[in-house]
Amino acid sequence: MPEPRARSSEESHLLEKAARYLPGGVLGTHRFPPELAFVVKRGQGSKLYDVSGREYIDYLLGSGPMILGHAYPAVGAAVSEQLSKGTTYFLLNEPIIQLAEELCRAIPCSEQVRFTSTGSEATFFALRIARAYRKRDKVLKFEGGYHGHHDYSLMSATPRSPKAFPAAIPDSAGIPHVLEGEVLIAPYNDLATTEALLAVYADQLAAVIVEPFQRVIPPEKGFLQGLRALTQRHQIPLIFDEVVTGFRFAYGGAQEYYGVVPDLAAYGKIVGGGFPLAAVCGRAEIMRNLDPSLEGTPEFVAQVGTLSGNPVAAVAGLATLAELRKPGTYARLFRIGAAVKDGLAALVKRSGIPGQVAGEAPLFDLFFTDQPITDYRSTLTADTALLKAFNYECLKRGVVKGAQKLYVSLAHTEADVERTLEAFAGALAALRRP
């Protein structure tokens, strides 16, 4: 096993401060073992550099938004220009109107847009809008689907001991128990069970929300089309959570890539170009519930945010989308991603360790199991301890990836791919050692 690279006294001091002032010494739930923890100093292209000056190939990408890579010149230039005009107004501004127009042009379901600051807010308000429109309270989501960290979302996203469908399990302390009866759970990629649940509960449902590409699990042929047909039959709004897939698989997101158009969609990550920005997009008939002229009526949905519509985030988003519209961009992204994804799959097969790579070229991960990965319960057959060890071995070799995802950017080069596959090979070899 390679020796951990030297950490500077400055970085050690910062890590000590983090442990003192941040719960668990981290910003969320993602953390590395103490000997591998580091503090980011800067990002450039496909790389991260820590305070000790060490370089990492980055497949975390800020948890997804940095599809162009870090410090992309066109984004930086747009942001610098806007900074001289002010950072936020809480009022209509030219960049946010232009971004709303572009989202409506790009996203099949989008006739109107309401901006938020985070993807969690976007899914939260999409559900609230659907409840107001449909005049029902219950929602149906899919087991293992992640829609942010609000109370409705954190139901059966990561259940350790799943219940019989449609019973929900809270994934966090502090969630009101009453919500266990308001969120119904269905199995992803299982249209027959979903149809049976809708036959019973359709009249009680405000919406069905789904990640069209659930974490790193692609939809099976006909699943999304069937779900769209079922929700239309029962007149239930269908919400796509495209916080991750939006502008990643195609310019029109998963809606374009899979050819299915929902009623509402939540967007985040890429739309802000690395700044806090997200959006609810959808049919004008449903989005009208947000119109302040309805205030005081039972139809009105209250939604506002101090930074929702921030012009700095808007210009960063516009600059990012302008790059993604360039001819050949997605073909290149898929080509880079396929080189990493297929290379990893080949290395796993050669290693003799039971495992498989699931996902699409721009976003995928490794599961240490010989069982097909089609839904959340099938992921439970995977050896999570082995994946954690693999991730740590990659980090030792200068490759950063998320606990459960590997994002690819347009900044990754052939040289990065070569170094990455060498790191993967070394990590798998280390796992085979007694």
Catalytic residue annotation: 146, 241, 269
Under 8 Å between Cβ of 381 and 371: yes
Place of tokens 């010149």: 73
CA 71/CA 93 separation, integer angstroms: 25
Alpha helices in 278-408 (DSSP H): 284-287, 311-324, 329-351, 376-379, 384-396
Tokens representing residue 172 in the block = 């966090």
Nearest in space to 240 (alpha carbons), one of 296, 279, 295, 273: 279
Instruction: Report which DSSP code applies to 45.
Output: B
**What are residue 20's phi and psi, to 5 degrees?**
-80, -40
Radius of gyration of the chain (CA): 22
CA atoms within 13 A on the CB side of 419: 18
CA 117/CA 100 separation, integer angstroms: 14
By CB atoms closer than 10 A (0-12, 13-18, 19+), residue 129 is buried
Q: How far is CA 391 from the centre of its chain?
A: 19
